[in-house]
Amino acid sequence: MEFHAQRDDSVTKMELDNQARVRAFAGECVVVLENNGVLPLESTGKIALYGNGARHMIKGGTGSGDVNSRYIVNIEDGLKEAGFEVTSTSWLDRFDAAFIRNQEEYMAKIKMLAAEQGRPEIETMFTNPISIPEILEITSEDIKEADTDTAVYVVSRDSGEGGDRKVKEGDYLFRLDELNAIRTLAENFSKVIVLLNVGGIVDIKAVKEIEGVSAILDISQLGNIGGYVVADVLTGKSDPSGRLTDTWAVNYEDYPGYQDYSSNNGNTDDEFYTEGIYIGYRYFDTFGIEPLYPFGYGLGYTTFDITTVSSVLKGSEVTLKVEVTNTGKRAGKEVVQVYVSAPVGKADKPYQELAAYEKTPSIEPGKSVVVDITFDMRDVASYEPSSACRILDKGEYYIRVGKNSRDTSLDAVVAVEDTIVVEKLRNLFAADKPFSEMTNPNKERQVTSFNPEDSQQASSVIKLVLDSSAIVAFEAEYTSSHASLEDKYPSRKVHFDDLKSGANMVEDLVAQLSVTEMAKLCVGSYSSFLSESLVGAASMRVPGAAAETCDILEKERGIPVMILADGPAGLRLQPHFKATPDGTLLPGGEVFGLSFRDFPEDTPSDAVDYYQYCTAIPIATALAQSWNKDLIFEAGKIVGEEMKKYYVHFWLAPGMNIHRNPLCGRNFEYYSEDPLISGMCAAYDTLGVQSFPGQGTTIKHYAGNNQEDNRMYSNSHISEKALRDLYLKGFGIAIKLAQPYSIMTSYNLINGIHAANNRDLIQSVARDEFGFEGVVMTDWYTSQEFTFGCVKPPVYPCSSSPMCIYAGNDWQMPGCEKNVTDIVEAVDNGSLPLGELQFCTCNILKMAVKCFS
């Protein structure tokens, strides 16, 4: 077997170049939450550094979203490289000892529990996450040693797949020892900077209340060179122009449906989305709840004025010219955000929704730029279940322009004189259990929830009238079945080369395949060599990759094997592996979080060493906080280049589930509470990756996958409207703008039907409504009776392998023999039409042609 990894351990030019690219843009992902003028620091010199993230910065979350980079540049490393003298080494050394001791005790506990429960260590780690060690007291001796007026405190929080976060100290809440440490700093240093090295929201109101805290920054999790990026931000070398993509509440209890989220109510089997469309700012702004920090908020290091110069309606497109003037003393970038408040009508709607956004280039003090922002009124339409249509209700649509959801001005009005049908669809997601939903409480005029002067303002701004003839309704044509194929070339065997050359269509080859051959192509290449204890490592050809496709027809018909690797904060591969000189992969070197399998003592002495070090880019939430589409495209290009190098065809990213609740364990892998942000980020990430022909993305997890506790057997009860207006919308944006190579379905059920088995979700919505052209795959072990990480017997069964095929779920990953036999039996007994299996096989071969042409 041929491997494409390098044979020496030297740092490559690509590694250095990609790290430099990340360093150049990642400062834009940092959000300044508070700053009394202390930042940027005027000069380097002595600085005191504390906190659990000072030396143990988290580059990104755990699980399949982790990236095995060569090294991590922590905050201390970054400050030193920037020219600072870190003067708190005694405290840092003491904490290091406590940190190591905590890890050792944790792994001993994991080994004991795994042995007692008869489970793999990794599975035991999923259900027993590590806690941060005690934060040591900052003593008077430590303060004396510091010998400086500037202190930085780094708070780190980790999370990952398989478990949701908790409203407890050391997770969503600050620990008392953390608060005491920050108070000590505030009493003894004139400049105190708190850095939040977090993958999601934490409750910081107690920190804000500490007198003497000078600045608070959400540095998020910025990848393996995060320390350099943070130092650049603190010194002003980089502009921290990030803006929040979530609403940060004063209290966790301010979030809608908080009491019933995930394990909060003890029921992880059935998750009722009772808040409907009201999540994030849609809830806070509609119901008049004051947030700690609103959606879109961020200070940066300078100030701006935003003025709408003109508003034009051409057809159904609104174009705004917005002048942005830097009124501060430093160069910087601003994000112009456009919201639309829709009138009361048949469809229930929130106070406002983000309609468009643009980030400015860097603007010098006193200078101005004019930004053009365009959005289509069709995209403002709301789903109305009684008619199964997406509509623009009759009335006035208020166009708001500003800096965040709570800082806008009403700059234009679009009048819709008659209700317009934008899309004619079908109701596809009937409830399996009854539940009630929130609705907008303001029935008189929902755009007056906290701006009562709106009606007066509306009379003084430009009014644009939408001509209803400018919008021709899209009417979806739904596919009821796929006809079986007949062999048109019985006298010769169609080869994959014939497909690449154009001599034959994919259908010509598929028509010649047996049911068993097709079933095997629709199931990943499972191997007894690869231990099931190492989740997400099921590739022989690119070790550490998540899966590869079946090689059953590689020799006979030339159908190549395709490689799939995890993300989304970079490419997740095994950094070091060994093989025999003739190319036989040897065991050992597998990495999953804190778990590492050493190379066996009997490894042959002539074994060849191979190395695959990849760049850990900022997590998805951090990238989204840049609000910069070009930046996200650049991040995608980094991944695409590394995929090309290591012969990976499918990146199992980007993740784009909505941040429904801040406790979701995988929120760090996702972008935002808003579907427009999520869809645009996924689209530009995809465009970046797919700028390398043959490398493609996998948008996931489709759909309604918003909790990790009991993730494989949880039933998400979601209304048709909430699904279409929130949870599916971002996927539609990404598909229409970027055509990702693939979609990964989610583990959960939606209204009683597994997402992987849901034909309406996959065929009717993704293909017939959104126009998706790629391949669909399951999440790992979806169609197997797999109880990895389950703490109790599941209430609902696993998804059906034949039903995956009927639904149009082309690949079942990583696959098992039972998947194959179940498919073959279903075709043989007539419960699975042959045409559906052939359709899935065609989709797979079309992607193979795309990857290898």
The pLDDT score that the predictor gives to residue 789 is: 66
The model's confidence at residue 448, banded by pLDDT at 50, 70 and 90, is very low
pLDDT of 127 over the 80 cut: no
Residue 48 has pLDDT above 60, yes or no: yes
Q: Which amino acid is at 343?
A: P
pLDDT exceeds cutoff 50 at 532: no
Nearest alpha-carbon partner for 519 in 845, 802, 849:
802
Going 423 to 425 to 428 to 430, the CA torsion angle's sign is positive
- pLDDT for position 626: 99
C-alpha 235/C-alpha 31 separation (Å) is 15
Over residues 537-547, the mean pLDDT reads 89
pTM recorded for the entire structure: 0.97
> What is the average pLDDT across 295-317?
98
Quick one: which of 412, 450, 400, 448 has its CA closest to 296?
400
Looking at residue 443, its pLDDT comes to 55
CB-based contact 420:392 (threshold 8 Å): yes
3-class DSSP state of 714: coil
Instruction: Of 477, 513, 481, give the one whose Cα is nearest residue 494.
Output: 513
CA 493/CA 601 separation, integer angstroms: 48
pLDDT in tens, 620-673: 999 999 999 999 999 999 999 999 999 999 999 999 999 999 999 999 999 999
Out of 458-462, 707-711, 726-730, which region has the weakest mean confidence (pLDDT)? 458-462
Give backbone dihedrals phi and psi of 659, rounded to 5 degrees, phi first. Answer: -75, 80
Percent of the chain past pLDDT 90, that is, above it, reads 89
- Residue 455 has what pLDDT? 60
* pLDDT bracket for residue 441 (50, 70, 90): confident
**Among 500, 546, 510, CA closest to 526:** 546
Band of the pLDDT at 454, cuts 50, 70, 90? low
Q: How confident is the model at residue 793 (pLDDT cuts 50, 70, 90)?
A: confident
The pLDDT value given to residue 537: 64
**Token pair belonging to 577:** 């592996």
Q: What is the pLDDT of residue 792?
A: 78
Query: Average pLDDT of 780-799?
Result: 85
Residue with the larger pLDDT of the pair 459 and 235: 235
d(CA 148, CA 726): 50
What is the pLDDT at residue 524? 94
Ranges assigned E (strand) in 551-678: 563-566, 576-579, 591-592, 595-596, 608-611, 650-652
Average pLDDT value for residue range 790-814: 93
CB atoms within 10 A of CB 124: 20
Query: Who contacts 484 (Cβ-Cβ below 8 Å, separation ≥6)?
Result: 833, 834, 835, 838
pLDDT at residue 531, rounded to an integer: 45
Rounded Cα distance, 677 and 621, in Å: 10
Specify the amino acid at residue 122.
Answer: I
3-state secondary structure of 142: helix
Tell me the Cα Rg of the chain: 27
User: Which residue is associated with the tokens 């993740």?
Assistant: 655
Average pLDDT, the chain: 95
Query: Which tokens is 636 given?
Result: 């995608």
Residues 6 or more apart whose CB falls under 8 angstroms from that of 602 comprise none
Q: pLDDT value at position 459?
A: 73
Could you read off the pLDDT of 489-515 as tens digits, one per residue?
999 999 999 999 999 999 999 999 999
Tell which wins on pLDDT, 449 or 475: 475
Distance CA 206, CA 187 (A): 16
Exposure letters 557-581 (e unless 16+ CB within 10 A, then b) = bbbebbbbbbbbbbbbbbbbbbbee
Peptide bond preceding 662: is omega within 30 degrees of 0, i.e. cis?
no
Is the separation of the CB atoms in 268 and 714 below 8 Å?
yes
Structural domains of the chain, with CATH = 29-88+136-240 (3.40.50.1700), 273-290+299-475 (2.60.40.10), 510-575+612-852 (3.20.20.300), 576-611 (no CATH)
Q: What share of the chain is helix, strand, coil (3-state, %, to 5)?
A: 30, 20, 50
Residue 534 reports pLDDT greater than 70: no
Check residue 453 and give its pLDDT: 56
Tokens 């590492």 sit on residue: 596
Q: Which stretch of 112-116, 481-485, 579-583, 771-775 has the lowest confidence by average pLDDT?
A: 112-116
Question: How far is it, in rounded angstroms, from Cα 82 to Cα 85?
Answer: 9
The DSSP bridge partners found for residue 324 are 306, 369
Does residue 446 surpass a pLDDT of 60?
A: no
Cβ–Cβ under 8 Å, residues 635 and 586: no
- Summarize the confidence of residues 370-375 as an average pLDDT: 99
Distance (Å, whole) CA 206 – CA 496: 63
Residue among 236, 239, 229 nearest 304 (CA) = 239
What beta strand segments (E) does 753-801 contain?
A: 753-754, 775-777
Among 351, 346, 387, residue whose Cα is nearest residue 278: 351
pLDDT at 528 over 60: no
* Segment 608-624, tens digit of pLDDT: 999 999 999 999 999 99
What would the mean pLDDT of 33-42 be, rounded to a whole number? 98
237-293 pLDDT per residue, tens = 999 999 999 999 999 999 999 999 999 999 999 999 999 999 999 999 999 999 999
Report phi then psi at 51, rounded to 5.
105, 160
Would you mind telling me the total number of residues written for the chain in this entry? 853
pLDDT of residue 39 exceeding 50, the answer is yes
E strands within 249-392? 270-272, 304-314, 317-326, 335-341, 353-359, 368-376, 382-384, 389-392
Mean pLDDT of 314-337: 99
Report the alpha-carbon distance of residue 688 to residue 313 in Å, rounded: 31
How does pLDDT run across 808-847, given as a tens digit for each residue?
A: 999 999 999 999 999 999 999 999 999 999 999 999 999 9
